[in-house]
């Protein structure tokens, strides 16, 4: 083990699950880059965490752009010299039914939710290989296992299912090099992201989702973050290629 603090990147870090994950990881002493498409939102989230005496910095990134992703990684390496943890949380929602989604919208969902994970992993893994260690957690969704069915529909579930396959492929390829890759698979979690989805849908959708959830409520961002924190910690040192459902029993 190295003696310096761990360094983490959390994409989509300016709120919801991302901000909660950044908080949880920073609380154990890590330096965390709160990376988000929205510069002002990233700065506000970083300020909230800094007010808790946590060592975080805001970074702007568009995960669908290879150049932007590589610039983010260069910024983090320039500041701290290493990257130990990557949490791929950035994503976009999509709740249109299959026959109403045009190719352009489908490709945008895939570009952010799947290609974004691909690009971030491809930019970070060379550093982790040089270090001989690293940990990646990809945020998928129960929609990627069930084919949608709660809020996300065909495009969203396709993008999140691909994240699960990519997680396993990377774990298989890099585990022997000391890099652990896992995924978390939440169900509906009350964030601004989820609220935007609910606002577009018919009244009563939230109640129907709760009725389909064995635990009988929706998730909280801190509950997902606690599992991300665990998977990125030494306590999870023998876990690789796993998809951990944090879903109130929804996927079973």
Counting residues of the chain whose pLDDT is more than 70, the rounded percentage is 96
165-205: per-residue pLDDT in tens? Answer: 999 999 999 999 999 999 999 998 888 777 777 777 667 88
The confidence score (pLDDT) of residue 246 equals: 96
pLDDT tens digit sequence for 100-124: 999 999 999 999 999 999 999 999 9
Q: Across all residues in the chain, what is the average pLDDT?
A: 94
Would you mind telling me the total number of residues written for the chain in this entry?
252
The phi and psi torsions of 134 (rounded to 5 degrees) equal 170, 165
**Does residue 189 contact residue 226 with C-beta atoms inside 8 Å?**
no
The band of 149, judged by pLDDT with boundaries at 50, 70 and 90, is: low
- Give the model's pLDDT for residue 79: 98
Q: Band the pLDDT of 152: cuts 50, 70, 90.
A: low
What is the per-residue pLDDT across 15-64, written as a single tens digit (0 to 9) for each? 999 999 999 999 999 999 999 999 999 999 999 999 999 999 999 999 99
Tokens of 211: 């009725």
Q: Say if residue 150's pLDDT is above 70.
A: no
State the pLDDT at residue 252.
Answer: 87
Question: What's the topology of domain 7-245?
Answer: Rossmann fold (3.40.50)
Question: Which whole number is the average pLDDT over 6-13?
Answer: 98
DSSP lists the bridge partners of residue 58 as: 34
Task: For strands 56-60 and 31-36, give the pairing.
Answer: parallel
Domain coordinates in residue numbering, the chain: 7-245
**Residue 153 binned pLDDT confidence (cut-offs 50, 70, 90):** confident
Q: Any idea of the CA torsion for 162, 36, 79, 126, to the nearest 10 degrees?
A: 10
pLDDT of 1 strictly over 60: no
Q: Which of 37, 50, 48 is nearest to 193 (CA)?
A: 37
What is the set of active-site residues?
156
- What local confidence, expressed as pLDDT, does residue 151 receive? 66
Q: Average pLDDT in the 207-214 region?
A: 87
């Amino acid at each position: 083990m190295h003696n310096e603090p761990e360094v983490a990147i959390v994409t989509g870090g300016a709120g919801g699950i991302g901000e909660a994950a950044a908080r949880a990881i920073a609380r154990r002493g890590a330096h965390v880059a709160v990376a988000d498409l929205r510069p002002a939102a990233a700065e506000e989230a970083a300020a909230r965490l800094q007010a808790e005496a946590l060592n975080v910095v805001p970074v702007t990134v568009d995960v669908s752009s290879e150049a932007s992703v590589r610039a983010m990684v260069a910024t983090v390496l320039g500041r701290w010299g290493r990257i130990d943890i990557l949490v791929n949380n950035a994503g976009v929602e999509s709740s249109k039914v299959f026959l109403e989604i045009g190719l352009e919208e489908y490709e945008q969902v895939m570009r952010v939710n799947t290609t974004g994970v691909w690009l971030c992993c491809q930019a970070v893994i060379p550093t982790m290989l040089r270090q001989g260690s690293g940990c990646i957690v990809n945020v998928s969704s129960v929609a990627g296992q069930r084919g949608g069915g709660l809020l996300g529909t065909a495009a969203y579930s396709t993008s999140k299912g691909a994240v699960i396959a990519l997680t396993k492929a990377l774990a298989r390829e890099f585990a022997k090099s000391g890099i652990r890759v896992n995924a978390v698979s939440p169900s509906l979690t009350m964030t601004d992201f989820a609220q935007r989805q609910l606002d577009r849908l018919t009244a009563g959708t939230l109640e129907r989702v709760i009725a389909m959830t064995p635990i009988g409520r929706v998730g909280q961002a801190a509950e997902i973050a606690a599992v991300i924190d665990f998977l990125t910690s030494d306590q999870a040192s023998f876990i690789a290629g796993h998809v951990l459902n944090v879903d109130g029993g929804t996927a079973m």
